[in-house]
């Protein structure tokens, strides 16, 4: 009896539970809780995909997607509880318990939720299609026409939002550019020229036009601990369409990073119909991530150095840290040699510094005999350390295959070729370098100056007219054209129109030095203005090289020669003191010669000018030497030795880099030089102004 009653009790319990569960699930369905849950999950997925896509465009910080995900997860139970406890009615939202089931509109609400789910699923399918066709994991969508293999890789975005990851992000960008530049069939714009576009508001077409490319790459790097996610996308600048894109998630190792860089390079060359040469991608430089990161920091620091001793020592410390961790890191040794060379060249030359340059280059070549950068470093050593242009060029020829897209390589070789006398070849290399690095001020100026020196005026003018509008160099660029007018025709007017408007703080930069302004004022006959210029607070550091009394004495001589004499005597003493420290400084001997000439000591002046010319003979520096030949001819003319002056000018005027005869004559103290019979023959042969070179 008891067992029967017990069995009936259990049956009743299970029956009650079944009824309860059936009623519960029916109520879940009636209240649309299940539909709300499905709709919430689908819509949340769509939101996350949308956030992921626009993150690169809007530049959200790296934590933003995770924050959205956490908020969506928190919101799910809230949405389910809300859908159970509340119901939408024609009168608004009410508690479900207060709504009469006979008047409930949950069925209609459910239909609307179904439509929302369908719409969200359609969007989800759209995002999946985007992801496969043009999104982060897709492949080529549009193909750029053959012959348009040119690319600028814009600065990568640090998506982690942590400043400590900036060097890693920037280093990856720099290293990828180095890898891409080794692919000879690609024109790859250097990092220096793309940096200004980090936070630009310019569109893709504007950027591409300014850099002279047809495609752009954007990227983002998100580092978290020992893992990194790299997003890259290749864009056709003309159409703003994605050509190719990819996302890489990986553990951070040097090998993984290099594998990704190689794959990116391969995909870019495929997309642009260029030729990918696996041999062009360099071997793993080190297996140590710590050494690699120190190397990246060093290369970024080298990129922004001002070449002061403190700055260069700080750069070298990064590379030295890299070789301390990995003594066989040949690429770091090569960069130590390059930095040592800059220390030697810019911060006081000594046998010890030169030896340090050679030792590091030899160490790099000992470890990796075929490393292009090691041969480049050795070339720098022969160039700056020994002024041995032939051996420098021989080393660079060994480096060329692995550095054929490197602007610094072509710029360095151009400088060596120019000094060695091969000015035409130098111009061609400068053009290559400036095309690869169009925002580099010195490269642009060197290219134009070399074309000017060869009388290739049409090309020089075209480049002058298309100089980049870079705010930091806008003033310097404004002087390039007027300076060309002066050297060709002897007219200082256009240059003075610019210089006369400058404030004191505007001086001190290349092409806007106070010495250049002084020279133009003197040549224009504005002697009092030149004298007044010397008293302005714009000569900081100038007296290290030459006493200011030299400028005062020169300007005063053309106003009152008698009053100028004490100034010229003082200046001569100052020049002699500086020569005691730098006895083979050609610039000081040139200044000394003019100083002596204005004091009437012409034989001594001619001897000083000749010595300056002998210090820098044509075979030592074919680009700089003509300046001292010009000075020598000037001093000869001032001394009344006209036959000698005409003979020197006859050899000087055709030289690459020489100024015109009219420019030479501007500012020359009044004499009978132009009345000399040989002068008319000089004009007949060379003309007053320079003419465009005949194409060969």
Beta 150-153 vs 86-89: how paired, if at all?
A: unpaired
The 10s digit of each residue's pLDDT in 375-418 is 999 999 999 999 999 999 999 999 998 888 899 999 999 999 99
Q: Tell me the two tokens of residue 241.
A: 């369409």
166: Cβ contacts below 8 Å, ≥ 6 apart: 158
- Residue 176: CA count within 13 A, CB half-sphere: 28
- Rounded to whole angstroms, the Cα distance separating 683 from 631 reads 19
587: Cβ contacts below 8 Å, ≥ 6 apart: 545, 546, 612
The 10s digit of each residue's pLDDT in 595-636 is 999 999 999 999 999 999 999 999 999 999 999 999 999 999
Select the more confidently predicted residue: 550 or 264.
Answer: 550
Model pLDDT, residue 110: 57
- Confidence band of 167 (pLDDT split at 50, 70, 90): confident
Model pLDDT, residue 270: 82
Beta 227-236 vs 241-251: how paired, if at all?
A: antiparallel
Compute the mean pLDDT over every residue in the chain, rounded to the nearest whole number.
84
The 10s digit of each residue's pLDDT in 225-265 is 888 888 888 888 888 888 888 888 888 888 888 888 888 88
On the question of pLDDT at 5 being above 50, the answer is: no
CB contact at 8 A, 39 and 116: yes
User: Which spans in 184-329 are helix H?
Assistant: 191-194, 204-211, 254-271, 289-303, 309-325
Between helix 441-453 and helix 474-489 the angle, nearest 10°, is 10
Model pLDDT, residue 57: 52
Cβ-count burial of 332 within 10 angstroms (0-12 exposed, 13-18 middle, 19+ buried)?
buried
Model pLDDT, residue 400: 92
Model pLDDT, residue 79: 66
- Report which of 389, 152, 130, 355 is spatially closest to residue 245, judged by C-alpha positions: 130
Average pLDDT estimate for 370-374: 95
Q: Tell me the two tokens of residue 218.
A: 């954007």
CB contact at 8 A, 487 and 660: yes
- Report which of 524, 519, 527, 521 is spatially closest to residue 546, judged by C-alpha positions: 519
- Rounded to whole angstroms, the Cα distance separating 518 from 492 reads 11
Longest CA–CA separation in the chain, Å: 150
Model pLDDT, residue 664: 95
Q: Domains of the chain (ranges plus CATH)?
A: 20-133 (no CATH), 150-280 (3.40.50.10610), 289-474 (1.25.40.10), 541-686 (1.25.40.10)
Supply φ then ψ for residue 404, to 5 degrees.
Answer: -70, -10
The 10s digit of each residue's pLDDT in 675-685 is 999 999 999 99
Virtual torsion, Cα 100, 105, 109, 110, nearest 10 deg? 80
Tracing tokens 């074309």 back to the chain, one arrives at 451
CA 542 centroid distance within chain: 29
CB contact at 8 A, 555 and 571: no
DSSP string, 210-223: HHT-SEEEEEEEEE
Q: Report the percentage of the chain scoring pLDDT > 90.
A: 49
Select the more confidently predicted residue: 106 or 246.
Answer: 246
Rounded to 5°, angle at Cα 608 from 603 and 609: 100
Tracing tokens 């539909």 back to the chain, one arrives at 35
On the question of pLDDT at 143 being above 70, the answer is: no
- Rounded to whole angstroms, the Cα distance separating 146 from 273 reads 6
Model pLDDT, residue 169: 86
CB atoms near residue 470 (< 10 Å): 17
Helix (H, G, I), strand (E, B) or coil at 125: helix
Select the more confidently predicted residue: 16 or 136.
Answer: 16
- Confidence band of 146 (pLDDT split at 50, 70, 90): very low
């Amino acid at each position: 009896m008891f067992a029967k009653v017990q069995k009936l009790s259990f049956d009743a319990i299970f029956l009650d539970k079944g009824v309860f569960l059936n009623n519960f699930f029916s109520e879940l369905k009636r209240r649309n809780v299940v539909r709300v849950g499905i709709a919430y999950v689908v819509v949340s997925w769509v939101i996350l995909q949308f956030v992921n896509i626009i993150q690169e465009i809007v530049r959200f910080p790296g934590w933003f997607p995770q924050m959205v995900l956490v908020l969506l997860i928190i919101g799910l139970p809230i949405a389910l509880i809300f859908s159970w406890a509340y119901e939408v009615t024609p009168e608004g939202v009410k508690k479900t318990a207060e709504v009469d089931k006979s008047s409930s509109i949950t069925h209609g609400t459910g239909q609307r939720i179904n439509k929302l789910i369908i719409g969200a699923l359609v969007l989800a399918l759209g995002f999946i299609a985007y992801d496969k066709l043009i999104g982060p994991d897709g492949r080529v969508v549009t193909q750029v026409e053959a012959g348009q293999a040119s690319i600028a890789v814009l600065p990568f975005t640090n998506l982690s939002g942590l400043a400590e990851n900036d060097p890693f992000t920037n280093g990856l960008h720099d290293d990828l550019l180095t890898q891409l530049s080794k692919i000879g069939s690609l024109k790859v714009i250097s990092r220096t020229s793309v940096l200004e576009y980090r936070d630009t508001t310019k569109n893709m077409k504007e950027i591409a036009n300014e850099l002279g490319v047809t495609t752009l790459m954007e990227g983002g790097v998100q580092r978290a601990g020992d893992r990194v996610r790299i997003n890259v996308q290749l864009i056709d600048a003309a159409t703003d369409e994605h050509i190719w894109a990819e996302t890489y998630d990986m553990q951070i190792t040097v090998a993984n990073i290099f594998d990704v860089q190689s794959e990116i390079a391969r995909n870019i060359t495929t997309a642009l119909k260029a030729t990918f040469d696996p041999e062009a991608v360099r071997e793993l430089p080190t297996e140590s991530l710590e050494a690699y990161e120190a190397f990246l920091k060093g290369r970024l620091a080298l990129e922004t150095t001002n070449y002061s001793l403190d700055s260069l020592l700080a750069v070298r410390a990064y590379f030295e840290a890299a070789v301390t961790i990995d003594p066989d890191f040949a690429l770091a040794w090569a960069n130590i040699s390059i930095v040592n060379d800059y220390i030697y060249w810019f911060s006081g030359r000594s046998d010890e510094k030169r030896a340090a340059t050679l030792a590091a280059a030899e160490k790099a070549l000992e470890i990796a005999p075929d490393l292009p950068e090691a041969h480049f470093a050795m070339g720098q050593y022969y160039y700056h350390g020994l002024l041995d242009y032939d051996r420098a060029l021989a080393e660079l020829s060994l480096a060329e295959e692995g550095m054929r897209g490197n602007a610094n390589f072509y710029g360095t070789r151009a400088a060596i070729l120019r000094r060695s006398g091969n000015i035409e070849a130098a111009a061609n290399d400068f053009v290559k370098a400036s095309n690869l690095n169009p925002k580099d001020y010195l490269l642009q100026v060197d290219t134009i100056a070399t074309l000017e020196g060869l009388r290739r005026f049409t090309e020089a003018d075209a480049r002058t007219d298309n100089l980049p509008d870079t705010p930091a160099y806008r003033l310097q660029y404004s002087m390039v054209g007027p300076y060309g007018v002066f050297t060709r025709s002897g007219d200082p007017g256009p240059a003075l129109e610019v210089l006369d408007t400058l404030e004191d703080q505007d001086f001190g930069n290349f092409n806007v030095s106070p010495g250049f302004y002084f020279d133009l004022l003197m040549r224009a006959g504005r002697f009092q203005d030149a004298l007044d210029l010397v008293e302005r607070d714009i000569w900081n550091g100038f007296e290290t090289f030459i006493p200011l009394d030299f400028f005062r004495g020169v300007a005063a001589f053309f106003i009152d020669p008698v009053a100028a004499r004490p100034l010229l005597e003082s200046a001569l003493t100052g020049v002699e003191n500086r020569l005691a420290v730098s006895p083979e400084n050609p610039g000081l001997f040139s200044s000394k010669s003019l100083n002596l000439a204005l004091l009437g000591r012409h034989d001594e002046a001619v001897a000083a000018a000749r010595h300056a010319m002998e210090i820098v003979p044509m075979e030592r520096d074919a680009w700089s030497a003509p300046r001292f030949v010009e000075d020598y001819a000037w001093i000869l003319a001032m001394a009344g030795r006209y036959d000698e002056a005409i003979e020197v000018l006859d050899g000087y005027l055709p030289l690459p880099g020489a100024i015109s005869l009219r420019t030479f004559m501007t500012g020359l103290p009044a004499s009978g030089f132009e009345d000399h019979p040989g002068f008319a023959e000089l004009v007949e042969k060379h003309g007053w102004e320079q003419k465009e070179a005949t194409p060969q």
